[in-house]
Chains A and B, each alone.
Chain A
Amino acid sequence: MTTTLAAGPRGAAAPPSSPPPTRRRARRRELTAQWLFLVPAIAYVLIFFGYPIVKNLVMGFQDYSVRTFVTGEAPWVGLANYAEVVSSGIFRTTVVNTALFTLGSIAGQFVIGLLFALFFKRRFPLNNVLRSLLLLPWLLPMIAGSAVWRWILDQDGGILNETLQGIGLIDDPIRWLTSPDIALVAVILVNVWVGIPFNMTLLYSGLQNIPDELYEAGALDGATGWKAFWYITWPNLRSVVNVVLVLGVIYTLKVLDIILGLTGGGPANATQTLATDSYRRSFQEFSFGTGAAVSNVLIVVSLVFAVVYLRANRRAEEE
């Protein structure tokens, strides 16, 4: 923090034509006054975002366990935590699950969100009201959503199986949340439900920014319907699409409540992701060292996508 703060006064220390001392002092006072507005925020970001990242990186190299909380000692173990994590059978599973969960969620959210956005581009009565009520799944506490979905997807009494059986689509109840083969699909389904409103909203605002004249001109050239979408809508929406997709990935990588609420990572780790595994190691096994190692992997993946996002966002702004 001190270095950042010092940058202000130092920047003013050597003005092009050195003014008289009083003016220089006034200038310094001015800069200090300006920086004071930022001090609380900088301090907060350093403590609650900067410190955790550094601490997490360090913990990844330490044997940080229950004993640490008693003795205060966290011996340096080099790469042992990473070795333990990577060689554990569960690591492969969590990486594959994280990839499938992310890809599946994004694909579902995006396609349905885009269809909804295109639909709401039409002008019809109640359009605005319906569109904002659609935000509800996104605004509810995710754990409340998980709770109701847990009951909807319940194997024996859940309404989904009852309905599917009632209309004769299936004979035996599907074990949505208890079968290792299906649980991940069910969790993705719920995450898609949560994510549709967000995708729809951003894509809708992107669609609104495409000038009507483009469609009018296109219509003269015979570009209507599918052609209009392919040659006018999609190219003009590309930058927003990039932003939506990358943000979707970043938000999906973080997801914890939905999985813990629905399956707790089970059955047999079928829905365990990097995020839930990091939680499990740190807070259920109190092995903070390996928990930090797993979440450091998560940081790296998120940061890669964050950089992609910032570039996509800049392109979106330039256009």
Chain B
Amino acid sequence: MSPTTTPRTLLSTALGIALLAFMLFPVYWMVNVSLQGGSTAASSTFFPTDITLDGYRTAIQDQTGNLLTSIVVALGAVVVSLAVATPAAYALSRFRLRGMGIFLFALLLAQMIPGIVIANSLYTLFNDLGLLNSYPGLILANATHGIPFAILIMSAFMRSIPPALTEAARVDGASHFRAFWSIIVPVSKNSLITAGLFCFLFAWSDFMFGLTLTTGADIKPVTLGIYDYLQGNVQSWGPVMATAVLSSVPAIVLLVLAQRYIAAGAMGGAVK
């Protein structure tokens, strides 16, 4: 049911577009400057009149390895997060076990622990285990961004699945795992996608663990690639903005293609 179009509603639409344009100006600016290539620290023009891909050429030269690292780490974090979170969400939604309330409470608190606290301790732990500057280390650490969120959002969904669905299978002799794997997981597909998307975005955007748990140039996420540019006096903003655009592609693509999952996750993030 789309709202009726009257001059009044059209005025609201116009105002809404203006608000959006204002809020997204920095994103426009990022794209705009990225297309002005080598423009030195002199000011950028308002529109990219002389479009050049020099900025992207430099960015790809500098950052391809880092982008690949980010992809591997983010996908790894999604796999680890869902593997850990989905069964737990099922248990929380179905079983009544002692101590589950405490676990739920711990999950809520876990979401609130400042990342620097975790980084401080993980650095020393990973140093002992030889996990600094490694993919497994980054993947495991980045799963912290998503696991509590994924458990909470998926168990909220699974609670809405009628128990009769699994009970029938259980009566027929299916194990809990079977009921979980062949009934709950397919039925919960949408909430798994939402959780997975956010785990990906959280890990992809991670800065804290990339900053603290990697020290060399070999394994470095693209967020740290951007940070490296910002460390010194930036001489040329084209490549920096081109890298920023490349690092923003997943968020933009997912927001456009997977809008309803993103909207579901954004709501579920806090009001459970």
Provide the residues of chain B in CB contact with A139, threshold 8 Å.
201, 205, 251, 254-255, 262
Out of A52, A156, A157, A313, name the residue touching B122 (CB < 8 Å).
A52
Of A20-28, A83-91, A240-248, the stretch lying at the interface with chain B is: A240-248
Bound form: Cα–Cα A135–B98 in Å = 39
Known: A38-B97, A202-B270. A55 touches B115 (CB 8 A): no
Q: Are B20 and A37 in contact (CB under 8 A)?
A: no
Main secondary structure of the interface of B (DSSP, over half): helix
Q: Are A53 and B113 in contact (CB under 8 A)?
A: yes
Interface residues as binary, B219-243 with A (CB distance below 8 Å gives 1, 0 otherwise): 0000100110110001001001101
Q: Are B91 and A51 in contact (CB under 8 A)?
A: no
Q: Are A119 and B109 in contact (CB under 8 A)?
A: no
- Interface assignment of A94: CB less than 8 Å from any CB of chain B: no
Bound form: Cα–Cα A244–B226 in Å = 30
Complex interface residues of chain B between 12 and 50 (CB less than 8 A to chain A): 12-13, 15-17, 19-20, 23-24, 26-27, 29-30, 33, 41-44, 46
- Interface assignment of A107: CB less than 8 Å from any CB of chain B: no
Bound form: Cα–Cα A206–B269 in Å = 13
A122, A143, A292 interface centre (most CB from chain B within 10 Å): A143
Q: Are A201 and B267 in contact (CB under 8 A)?
A: yes
Q: Are B20 and A133 in contact (CB under 8 A)?
A: yes
- Interface assignment of A295: CB less than 8 Å from any CB of chain B: yes
Bound form: Cα–Cα A123–B118 in Å = 44
Known: A137-B24, A147-B244. A142 touches B205 (CB 8 A): yes
Known: A59-B120, A125-B2. A310 touches B108 (CB 8 A): yes
Given pairs A256-B208, A282-B119, 20 additional interface contacts (CB within 8 A): A8-B99, A35-B91, A36-B87, A45-B148, A49-B144, A50-B106, A56-B120, A64-B124, A124-B10, A124-B12, A125-B3, A136-B24, A136-B27, A139-B255, A152-B29, A202-B271, A260-B207, A279-B211, A299-B117, A309-B108
25 CB contacts below 8 A, A to B, read A8-B98, A34-B176, A40-B83, A51-B121, A119-B12, A119-B15, A124-B10, A124-B16, A125-B9, A126-B13, A127-B12, A135-B255, A136-B24, A140-B248, A141-B247, A148-B27, A148-B29, A148-B33, A151-B33, A193-B26, A202-B271, A254-B116, A279-B211, A292-B120, A306-B108
